[in-house]
């Protein structure tokens, strides 16, 4: 793992760390995720056949295309990912300790071009409450499959971490703030925030 990732993280607000887990481990965890998806008494679901990727064959999918019900965040393979030394090392470097608290968000299995699916618009947000000052929350995503600029995935706005706190103070209504570590930007707010930083990167 290159030590340069931390400098990039502090400067740009994000880092991509390809070596956090091995390719073999990623394939193993991906297989476990697919097995979980097929465990819902849905024999008609065939992951090689998009015509079977229908709501009746899938567990509940949230509005942001994630699986966050049925206790999936506590499946063994999900815990195994969190406990990978390469994952722990990243967050230990950020926080200066290996005694870490972790949130339990969701599993994402993106099934492209599934029948009747209407692609979602982006939902620009920050995973830290406006009430918090400084860096207190860091969102991590472990990507288990190849993903490029033409695939669905995460879009980031490098540099916005340096202006977010000032932005909340000057450009938002404090009455709209919540303690939850998630704040969604309106289109108008996003335009203002992007004006303070750089272009988006997928």
pLDDT tens digit sequence for 34-67: 999 999 989 999 999 999 998 899 999 888 889 9
* pLDDT (tens digit per residue) in 113-135: 777 777 777 888 999 999 999 99
What pLDDT sits at residue 3? 67
Distances (CA, A) of 49 to 5, 62, 81, 109: 39, 22, 28, 15
Q: Which two tokens stand for residue 46?
A: 């065939």
pLDDT, one tens digit per residue, over 92-114 is 999 999 999 998 889 999 887 77
Can you give the pLDDT at residue 103?
87
Given a contact cutoff of 8 angstroms between Cβ atoms, the answer to whether 149 and 202 are in contact is yes
Concatenating the DSSP letter of every residue in the chain gives --THHHHHHHHHS----TTSS-HHHHHHHHHHHHHHHT-SS-TT--TT-GGG--GGGS----TTS-B--TTGGGSHHHHHHHT-HHHHHHHHHHHT-S--------B----TT-TTPPPPPP--EESS-TTS-SS---------S---TTSS---B-TTGGGTHHHHHHHHS-GGG--SSS-EEPPHHHHHHHHTTS---B-
| Domain ranges for the chain | 1-119, 121-202
């Amino acid at each position: 793992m290159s030590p340069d990732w931390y400098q990039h993280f502090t400067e740009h607000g994000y880092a991509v760390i390809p070596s956090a887990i091995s390719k073999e481990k990623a394939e193993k965890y991906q297989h476990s995720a697919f097995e979980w998806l097929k465990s819902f008494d849905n024999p008609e679901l065939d992951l090689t056949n998009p015509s079977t990727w229908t709501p009746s064959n899938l567990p509940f999918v949230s509005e942001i295309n994630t699986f966050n019900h049925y206790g999936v965040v506590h499946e063994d393979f999900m815990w195994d990912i969190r406990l990978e030394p390469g994952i722990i090392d990243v967050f230990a470097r950020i926080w200066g300790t290996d005694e870490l608290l972790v949130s339990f968000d969701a599993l994402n299995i993106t099934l492209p071009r599934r029948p009747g699916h209407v692609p979602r618009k982006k939902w620009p947000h920050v995973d830290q409450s406006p009430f918090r000052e400084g860096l207190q929350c860091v969102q991590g995503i472990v990507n288990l499959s190849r993903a490029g600029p033409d695939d669905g995935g995460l879009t980031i706005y490098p540099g916005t971490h340096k202006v977010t706190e000032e932005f909340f103070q000057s450009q938002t209504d404090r009455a709209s703030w919540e303690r939850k570590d998630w704040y969604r930007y309106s289109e108008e707010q996003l335009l203002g925030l992007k004006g303070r930083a750089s272009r988006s990167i997928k």
